[in-house]
A and B are shown apart, each in its own frame.
Chain A
């Protein structure tokens, strides 16, 4: 209940503060193209970077969680779980600096290879950026950042897989991999989704790392490795806010309102997906 009040308060604050930008004439909005034209590329960039991060991190998180819970010897599993948790404790600015100084240059070679060999896929059309501060790099940094939270959620669920169901599959002559497919993954599927959505939420709102890593120029493109990248909402607010005034600030707040709405929708979708599966859930 209290949470609902807080949420409503946040929404009301954003609406009131952003209002002037809704009624302002298009010329006064930064970029002089109107509010929608200003925010749309940011929304696109936000979604693209977050989804990219999720596509990279989620499968990796499932594999790590599986390894920790079902393959690694206990000592190694503990150590590995500890290391993954530690990743979550690193401040995002550090990830930003790491992405900028280490990862960005390191992606240049692979990016060139991708554009030469897989250039027919729009994602890798190129031409590759010379700095490496691309959407791909931002996605990779975000993936590392959201990996711990997703892994933690999935690992917990996998650990709780009922022994009954593991034994049921093994008694049918399942190998360990088949046991995982029959018993562990179905049991953990809703947590894979909820963990992913938590990660997605974090990636959507991540500010500093993206602000540092991504060299934004405002285009709307699926091209991950070129230098023409859309910015993300959060990073854009952080970069523009100190130098804005008047309607420009209201515009930034309006973009914040959109971000708020997106995260809300993502969470609702996650909830709906999980609820839809309760029919076949482990509760028997």
Chain B
């Protein structure tokens, strides 16, 4: 088993697959509800398969923070009105193979958007660095 982080980007260069993505606030309320229901259903499916580890949606507003030297307050930058690459949410799955991780990501990407059509958004799949095996010789 291996863990993978599925990153749901929003507005990244990869986020637009087929057509320009219609912003969510311009969908009908039913379309928004359908999208959210779909995401919850996928999480439930993964839970039922014994593969779900964790998942969260993230607030779109974020701030950059960095260390500025001993005894000084941290430096902050942002929030920015327009970010080029925004992470909308993430999910962690624990699956038997990379293929299975891709399958789960593709399922997430089938979430419906405007007009009830799948939005085909790109999901970034990143393997976790795990523990080394005991036997290596």
Partners in one complex: no
Report which A residues bind B (CB closer than 8 A).
Answer: none
